[in-house]
Amino acid sequence: MKAWSINSRDILILTACILVILFYSSPVKSEQEFFSQGEKITFEVRWSFVVAGEATLEVMPVEDLNGAPALHFVYTAKTTPFVDAFYKVRDRIESWTDKNLTRSFLYRKRHEGKSVKEILVQFDWNKLEARQIKNANITDTVSIEGNTFDPLSVFYAFRVGKPDEHNCIKINLTDGKKVIRANAKLLGKQKVTIAEKSYDTILVEPEIEGISGVFQKTKNSRMQIWITDDNKRIPVRIKSRVTVGSFIADLISYSPGGKTSGPNIQGQ
Protein backbone atom coordinates (compact mmCIF):
# COMPACT_ATOMS: atom_id res chain seq x y z
CA MET A 1 0.00 0.00 0.00
CA LYS A 2 2.94 2.33 0.28
CA ALA A 3 2.55 3.59 -3.27
CA TRP A 4 -0.86 5.05 -2.40
CA SER A 5 0.85 7.79 -0.39
CA ILE A 6 1.47 10.78 -2.63
CA ASN A 7 4.96 12.21 -2.25
CA SER A 8 6.09 15.53 -3.69
CA ARG A 9 6.85 14.01 -7.07
CA ASP A 10 3.58 12.06 -7.10
CA ILE A 11 1.44 15.16 -6.62
CA LEU A 12 3.52 17.03 -9.18
CA ILE A 13 2.89 14.40 -11.82
CA LEU A 14 -0.68 13.73 -10.75
CA THR A 15 -1.79 17.32 -11.18
CA ALA A 16 0.21 17.66 -14.37
CA CYS A 17 -1.42 14.55 -15.76
CA ILE A 18 -4.91 15.55 -14.75
CA LEU A 19 -4.74 19.11 -15.87
CA VAL A 20 -2.32 19.50 -18.68
CA ILE A 21 -4.96 17.80 -20.79
CA LEU A 22 -8.06 19.67 -19.73
CA PHE A 23 -8.02 21.92 -22.76
CA TYR A 24 -8.19 19.15 -25.29
CA SER A 25 -11.87 18.76 -24.51
CA SER A 26 -13.35 21.62 -26.53
CA PRO A 27 -12.74 25.23 -27.60
CA VAL A 28 -13.04 27.74 -24.78
CA LYS A 29 -16.49 29.31 -24.65
CA SER A 30 -17.50 32.75 -23.43
CA GLU A 31 -19.74 31.42 -20.66
CA GLN A 32 -17.31 29.15 -18.88
CA GLU A 33 -17.98 28.79 -15.18
CA PHE A 34 -14.63 27.35 -14.10
CA PHE A 35 -14.47 27.28 -10.31
CA SER A 36 -15.63 29.32 -7.33
CA GLN A 37 -14.71 29.79 -3.71
CA GLY A 38 -16.06 26.79 -1.84
CA GLU A 39 -15.72 24.33 -4.71
CA LYS A 40 -14.90 20.84 -3.40
CA ILE A 41 -14.06 17.74 -5.45
CA THR A 42 -13.86 14.40 -3.62
CA PHE A 43 -12.44 11.12 -4.95
CA GLU A 44 -12.55 7.58 -3.63
CA VAL A 45 -9.20 5.89 -4.25
CA ARG A 46 -9.14 2.12 -4.78
CA TRP A 47 -5.97 0.05 -4.83
CA SER A 48 -6.79 -3.00 -6.95
CA PHE A 49 -10.03 -4.12 -5.22
CA VAL A 50 -9.40 -2.38 -1.89
CA VAL A 51 -10.85 1.03 -1.02
CA ALA A 52 -7.67 2.73 0.20
CA GLY A 53 -8.91 6.21 1.04
CA GLU A 54 -10.26 9.56 -0.10
CA ALA A 55 -8.73 12.65 -1.69
CA THR A 56 -10.24 16.12 -1.97
CA LEU A 57 -9.52 19.38 -3.78
CA GLU A 58 -10.93 22.62 -2.36
CA VAL A 59 -10.98 26.33 -3.20
CA MET A 60 -10.59 28.37 -0.02
CA PRO A 61 -11.32 32.07 0.67
CA VAL A 62 -8.89 34.66 -0.69
CA GLU A 63 -6.12 35.44 1.80
CA ASP A 64 -3.58 38.19 2.38
CA LEU A 65 -0.07 36.86 1.75
CA ASN A 66 2.77 39.28 2.44
CA GLY A 67 0.49 42.22 1.72
CA ALA A 68 -0.98 40.84 -1.51
CA PRO A 69 -4.33 39.08 -2.08
CA ALA A 70 -3.77 35.41 -2.81
CA LEU A 71 -5.92 32.56 -4.03
CA HIS A 72 -5.72 29.57 -1.69
CA PHE A 73 -6.15 25.93 -2.74
CA VAL A 74 -6.08 22.82 -0.55
CA TYR A 75 -5.60 19.13 -1.32
CA THR A 76 -6.13 16.50 1.39
CA ALA A 77 -5.78 12.72 1.37
CA LYS A 78 -6.49 10.15 4.03
CA THR A 79 -6.50 6.37 4.19
CA THR A 80 -9.44 4.33 5.45
CA PRO A 81 -9.45 2.85 8.98
CA PHE A 82 -8.65 -0.55 7.45
CA VAL A 83 -5.56 0.76 5.66
CA ASP A 84 -4.62 2.87 8.70
CA ALA A 85 -3.86 -0.36 10.54
CA PHE A 86 -0.75 -0.96 8.44
CA TYR A 87 -0.08 2.27 6.51
CA LYS A 88 -1.75 5.40 7.81
CA VAL A 89 -1.72 8.50 5.62
CA ARG A 90 -2.94 11.99 6.40
CA ASP A 91 -1.70 14.44 3.75
CA ARG A 92 -2.48 18.12 3.39
CA ILE A 93 -1.13 20.17 0.51
CA GLU A 94 -1.73 23.91 0.16
CA SER A 95 -1.00 26.39 -2.58
CA TRP A 96 -1.17 30.17 -2.78
CA THR A 97 -1.07 32.10 -6.07
CA ASP A 98 -1.48 35.70 -7.14
CA LYS A 99 -5.07 36.93 -7.43
CA ASN A 100 -4.95 36.72 -11.24
CA LEU A 101 -3.79 33.10 -11.14
CA THR A 102 -0.69 33.72 -13.26
CA ARG A 103 1.99 32.30 -10.94
CA SER A 104 2.57 30.60 -7.61
CA PHE A 105 3.60 32.30 -4.37
CA LEU A 106 3.91 29.44 -1.90
CA TYR A 107 3.43 25.67 -1.73
CA ARG A 108 3.23 23.58 1.43
CA LYS A 109 2.97 19.80 1.84
CA ARG A 110 2.45 18.12 5.19
CA HIS A 111 2.55 14.33 5.37
CA GLU A 112 1.52 12.41 8.46
CA GLY A 113 2.22 8.70 8.51
CA LYS A 114 4.78 6.90 10.61
CA SER A 115 6.37 10.33 10.98
CA VAL A 116 5.43 13.92 10.19
CA LYS A 117 7.13 15.61 7.26
CA GLU A 118 6.62 19.12 5.95
CA ILE A 119 7.97 20.65 2.77
CA LEU A 120 7.72 24.29 1.69
CA VAL A 121 8.40 25.74 -1.75
CA GLN A 122 8.89 29.50 -1.83
CA PHE A 123 8.67 31.32 -5.16
CA ASP A 124 11.01 34.32 -5.38
CA TRP A 125 9.91 36.26 -8.42
CA ASN A 126 12.59 38.92 -7.99
CA LYS A 127 15.35 36.32 -8.30
CA LEU A 128 13.31 34.02 -10.57
CA GLU A 129 13.91 30.98 -8.42
CA ALA A 130 11.95 28.49 -6.35
CA ARG A 131 13.39 27.20 -3.09
CA GLN A 132 12.44 23.93 -1.44
CA ILE A 133 12.69 24.01 2.34
CA LYS A 134 12.78 21.03 4.72
CA ASN A 135 13.16 21.40 8.48
CA ALA A 136 13.89 25.14 8.08
CA ASN A 137 16.78 24.40 5.69
CA ILE A 138 16.89 25.17 1.98
CA THR A 139 17.48 21.80 0.31
CA ASP A 140 17.03 22.67 -3.37
CA THR A 141 16.83 25.75 -5.58
CA VAL A 142 15.68 25.83 -9.20
CA SER A 143 15.44 28.61 -11.77
CA ILE A 144 11.92 29.46 -12.90
CA GLU A 145 10.29 31.47 -15.65
CA GLY A 146 7.19 33.60 -15.58
CA ASN A 147 3.90 31.75 -15.16
CA THR A 148 5.45 28.82 -13.31
CA PHE A 149 3.10 26.93 -11.02
CA ASP A 150 3.38 24.49 -8.18
CA PRO A 151 1.91 20.97 -8.43
CA LEU A 152 -1.43 21.93 -6.89
CA SER A 153 -2.24 25.36 -8.34
CA VAL A 154 -1.61 24.12 -11.87
CA PHE A 155 -4.89 22.22 -11.57
CA TYR A 156 -6.76 25.51 -11.40
CA ALA A 157 -4.47 27.44 -13.76
CA PHE A 158 -5.24 25.05 -16.58
CA ARG A 159 -8.97 25.36 -16.00
CA VAL A 160 -8.97 29.08 -16.78
CA GLY A 161 -6.49 28.99 -19.66
CA LYS A 162 -6.83 28.50 -23.40
CA PRO A 163 -5.21 26.04 -25.82
CA ASP A 164 -3.02 27.32 -28.65
CA GLU A 165 -3.85 27.07 -32.34
CA HIS A 166 -2.70 23.46 -32.30
CA ASN A 167 -5.18 22.60 -29.54
CA CYS A 168 -2.22 21.95 -27.26
CA ILE A 169 -0.98 23.35 -23.98
CA LYS A 170 2.36 23.25 -22.20
CA ILE A 171 3.14 24.60 -18.79
CA ASN A 172 6.06 24.93 -16.41
CA LEU A 173 5.67 23.07 -13.12
CA THR A 174 8.03 22.81 -10.19
CA ASP A 175 8.09 21.11 -6.82
CA GLY A 176 11.23 23.01 -5.86
CA LYS A 177 13.52 20.20 -6.99
CA LYS A 178 13.04 20.26 -10.74
CA VAL A 179 11.02 22.03 -13.41
CA ILE A 180 9.10 20.07 -16.04
CA ARG A 181 7.00 20.78 -19.09
CA ALA A 182 4.10 18.44 -19.69
CA ASN A 183 1.88 17.43 -22.59
CA ALA A 184 -0.88 14.93 -23.30
CA LYS A 185 -2.98 13.42 -26.07
CA LEU A 186 -6.74 13.25 -26.61
CA LEU A 187 -8.16 9.78 -27.31
CA GLY A 188 -11.82 10.68 -27.80
CA LYS A 189 -15.18 11.00 -26.11
CA GLN A 190 -16.58 8.30 -23.86
CA LYS A 191 -19.54 7.73 -21.59
CA VAL A 192 -18.41 6.83 -18.06
CA THR A 193 -20.69 5.47 -15.33
CA ILE A 194 -19.73 5.89 -11.68
CA ALA A 195 -22.11 4.79 -8.92
CA GLU A 196 -24.98 4.59 -11.44
CA LYS A 197 -24.37 8.14 -12.66
CA SER A 198 -23.31 8.68 -16.27
CA TYR A 199 -20.87 11.35 -17.43
CA ASP A 200 -20.04 12.57 -20.91
CA THR A 201 -16.25 12.64 -20.82
CA ILE A 202 -13.06 13.05 -22.78
CA LEU A 203 -10.50 10.27 -22.37
CA VAL A 204 -6.96 11.58 -22.19
CA GLU A 205 -3.54 9.95 -21.84
CA PRO A 206 -0.85 12.20 -20.39
CA GLU A 207 2.72 12.08 -21.65
CA ILE A 208 5.28 13.32 -19.15
CA GLU A 209 8.75 13.12 -20.67
CA GLY A 210 11.58 12.31 -18.29
CA ILE A 211 9.34 11.97 -15.24
CA SER A 212 8.44 8.75 -13.44
CA GLY A 213 4.77 7.79 -13.26
CA VAL A 214 2.08 8.68 -10.82
CA PHE A 215 1.89 6.56 -7.65
CA GLN A 216 5.14 4.84 -8.71
CA LYS A 217 3.45 3.39 -11.76
CA THR A 218 5.00 0.51 -13.64
CA LYS A 219 7.49 1.42 -16.35
CA ASN A 220 5.83 1.84 -19.76
CA SER A 221 2.36 1.61 -18.23
CA ARG A 222 -0.38 4.05 -19.18
CA MET A 223 -2.35 6.51 -17.13
CA GLN A 224 -5.84 7.33 -18.32
CA ILE A 225 -7.97 10.24 -17.17
CA TRP A 226 -11.62 10.94 -17.92
CA ILE A 227 -12.71 14.59 -17.68
CA THR A 228 -16.19 16.02 -18.10
CA ASP A 229 -16.93 17.28 -21.59
CA ASP A 230 -18.20 20.64 -20.41
CA ASN A 231 -16.98 24.02 -19.21
CA LYS A 232 -15.93 22.83 -15.76
CA ARG A 233 -13.59 20.07 -17.01
CA ILE A 234 -13.84 18.03 -13.83
CA PRO A 235 -11.78 14.83 -13.63
CA VAL A 236 -14.22 12.04 -12.78
CA ARG A 237 -11.91 9.02 -13.06
CA ILE A 238 -8.14 8.44 -12.99
CA LYS A 239 -6.74 4.99 -13.73
CA SER A 240 -3.24 3.55 -13.97
CA ARG A 241 -1.11 0.46 -13.53
CA VAL A 242 1.38 0.79 -10.70
CA THR A 243 4.25 -1.18 -9.25
CA VAL A 244 2.10 -3.47 -7.12
CA GLY A 245 -1.20 -3.51 -9.00
CA SER A 246 -3.45 -0.73 -10.21
CA PHE A 247 -5.33 2.22 -8.80
CA ILE A 248 -8.58 3.93 -9.72
CA ALA A 249 -9.71 7.26 -8.30
CA ASP A 250 -13.42 7.90 -8.88
CA LEU A 251 -15.37 11.10 -8.28
CA ILE A 252 -17.82 10.56 -5.41
CA SER A 253 -18.97 14.12 -4.76
CA TYR A 254 -18.76 17.58 -6.28
CA SER A 255 -19.79 20.88 -4.71
CA PRO A 256 -19.51 23.91 -7.01
CA GLY A 257 -19.19 26.51 -4.27
CA GLY A 258 -20.65 29.92 -4.79
CA LYS A 259 -18.53 33.00 -4.26
CA THR A 260 -16.22 33.95 -7.11
CA SER A 261 -12.57 33.57 -6.08
CA GLY A 262 -10.45 34.78 -8.97
CA PRO A 263 -10.07 35.91 -12.59
CA ASN A 264 -12.13 34.51 -15.46
CA ILE A 265 -14.33 32.61 -13.04
CA GLN A 266 -18.04 32.30 -13.73
CA GLY A 267 -17.81 34.35 -16.89
CA GLN A 268 -15.84 37.28 -15.51
Residue 250 pLDDT more than 80?
yes
In a domain, 96, yes or no: yes
In a domain, 264, yes or no: no
Specify the number of domains making up the chain: 1
How does pLDDT run across 175-194, given as a tens digit for each residue? 898 888 766 667 789 999 99
How does pLDDT run across 4-22, given as a tens digit for each residue? 444 444 544 454 444 443 4
Q: Highest mean pLDDT range out of 78-92, 166-180, 230-244?
A: 78-92
In a domain, 141, yes or no: yes
- Collapse the DSSP code of 84 into the 3-class scheme (helix H, G, I; strand E, B; otherwise coil) and give the result: helix
In a domain, 54, yes or no: yes
In a domain, 125, yes or no: yes
Per the structure, the complete domain to which residue 143 belongs is given by 2-255
Separate counts of helices (H) and strands (E) for the chain? 3, 15
In a domain, 267, yes or no: no
Task: Say which residue, 54 or 23, is predicted with more confidence.
Answer: 54
In a domain, 6, yes or no: yes
Residue 137 pLDDT more than 80?
yes
Residue 49 pLDDT more than 50?
yes
CB of 153 closer than 8 Å to CB of 104: yes
In a domain, 263, yes or no: no
- Whole-model pTM: value is 0.79
Report the 10 Å Cβ neighbour count for 114: 9
**pLDDT number for residue 230:** 86
CATH code of the domain covering residue 192? 2.40.360
Residue 44 pLDDT more than 90?
yes
**pLDDT number for residue 112:** 79
Q: Residue 127: which residues within 8 A CB-CB, separation 6 or more?
A: none
Residue 144 pLDDT more than 80?
yes
